Homo-oligomer: A and B are copies of this chain.
């Protein structure tokens, strides 16, 4: 019997910059010319039908102008595109167009595009670099820090994927102006989540400045884009592999993801998270972690952001309960929720222990007696 030791210890540097500003299309292409991605000359632009004309096409034109090879791969806008099948189709189209390992991926769009494109880049030729050009508030809040990329499957959301860091993220605040209202509201849910879990200050700012943000006030938008990065960064930095602390980012998401799936994506992600934030607040109140008044404040802020706070009538509540059990935090068949503590903090049981076990009776009580 022989033994062979494979030594693979090394320093990995996945650091990158996030640029927050107005209209960063030229900046992106200039960064590439200036060597952001080394000698790479071929760019697979992955985008969706929403931003094809206003962002992907102009960036494509700028790249071609500089003599780079580029192609645009378009997915239908919406969560339903985040599948293994879409990933395979783009891979095949890229192969067909001759893309090999000497290319990079540019994801232009919201969270769906960056999740899908980041995952695809991570497995294409066993990994090619990618850049994210975030055109939605949701992507700015959610997808630009953390390196979480994934697709959905019929049985679970976000369970097949990778931790894969982009080489740079561009948050284009101008793009927020072009968002349909409902998309903008939906994106706000993750910002409110960040406020609920980590910052009373941000919560108060949102209460006072929601109208300003929704009318694209530059200073207010920059403020929240920055604040989102800071909060997420603090959490993610300490826990890159989601072993514990990062679970707090799941605030509102256990319930949110379940209701999003049961709605068959009639609810946008942020809308589902908004309802999830209400559900966890009710649970937190039941458990004594939040006062009635705190819960009301959370609901009021969500309403101010034009987000739903009730379970839509078309939702099958039994299916919803069943779906909760597919959550990643489920251990040994038991539901676990991250819960808010007051406003701007979460319940913690000890180092890296943030998920409260919740019985089926408890959640059933919330669903049947707290919601309308």
Interface on A for B, CB 8 Å cutoff? 1-22, 84, 88, 91-92, 95-96, 98, 100-102, 119, 122-127, 145, 147-148, 150, 153-156, 159-163, 165, 222, 225-226, 229-230, 233, 237, 240, 242, 326, 328, 330-331, 333
Q: Given the complex, which residues of B lie within 8 Å of A13, measured CB to CB? A: 8-9
Measured between C-beta atoms, what is the minimum distance from A71 to chain B in Å? Answer: 15
Structural contact, A125 and B12, CB atoms closer than 8 A: no
Closest chain B residue to A12, Cβ basis: B12
- Identify the interface centre among A5, A222, A326: most chain B CB within 10 Å of its CB: A5
A31 to B180, CA, bound (A): 56
Structural contact, A14 and B9, CB atoms closer than 8 A: yes
Name 17 interchain pairs, CB-CB below 8 A, sorted by A.
Answer: A3-B19, A4-B19, A4-B20, A4-B233, A5-B18, A6-B145, A7-B15, A7-B237, A8-B12, A8-B14, A9-B11, A88-B153, A91-B160, A92-B153, A95-B326, A122-B162, A127-B162
A63 to B108, CA, bound (A): 46
Q: Given the complex, which residues of B lie within 8 Å of A98, measured CB to CB? A: 333
Q: Given the complex, which residues of B lie within 8 Å of A161, measured CB to CB? A: 123, 126
User: A15 contacts which of B1, B9, B84 (Cβ < 8 Å)?
Assistant: B9
Structural contact, A124 and B160, CB atoms closer than 8 A: yes
Closest chain B residue to A27, Cβ basis: B1
Structural contact, B1 and A20, CB atoms closer than 8 A: yes
Structural contact, A126 and B163, CB atoms closer than 8 A: yes
User: A102 contacts which of B96, B122, B331 (Cβ < 8 Å)?
Assistant: B331
Structural contact, A1 and B22, CB atoms closer than 8 A: yes
Q: Given the complex, which residues of B lie within 8 Å of A122, measured CB to CB? A: 162
Structural contact, A233 and B6, CB atoms closer than 8 A: yes
Structural contact, A91 and B165, CB atoms closer than 8 A: no
Given contact pairs A7-B15, A18-B6, A102-B331, A95 touches B156 in the complex (Cβ within 8 A): yes
Structural contact, A5 and B20, CB atoms closer than 8 A: no
Given contact pairs A12-B9, A123-B162, A160-B123, A18 touches B1 in the complex (Cβ within 8 A): no
Measured between C-beta atoms, what is the minimum distance from A277 to chain B in Å? Answer: 23
Given contact pairs A96-B155, A123-B161, A17 touches B6 in the complex (Cβ within 8 A): yes
A17 to B2, CA, bound (A): 10
Closest chain B residue to A326, Cβ basis: B95
Structural contact, A155 and B100, CB atoms closer than 8 A: no
Measured between C-beta atoms, what is the minimum distance from A39 to chain B in Å? Answer: 11
Q: Given the complex, which residues of B lie within 8 Å of A328, measured CB to CB? A: 100-101, 125
Measured between C-beta atoms, what is the minimum distance from A112 to chain B in Å? Answer: 17
Measured between C-beta atoms, what is the minimum distance from A19 to chain B in Å? Answer: 6
Q: Given the complex, which residues of B lie within 8 Å of A19, measured CB to CB? A: 1-4
Structural contact, B226 and A125, CB atoms closer than 8 A: no
Structural contact, B20 and A2, CB atoms closer than 8 A: yes
Q: Given the complex, which residues of B lie within 8 Å of A101, measured CB to CB? A: 328
Closest chain B residue to A42, Cβ basis: B332
A235 to B164, CA, bound (A): 26
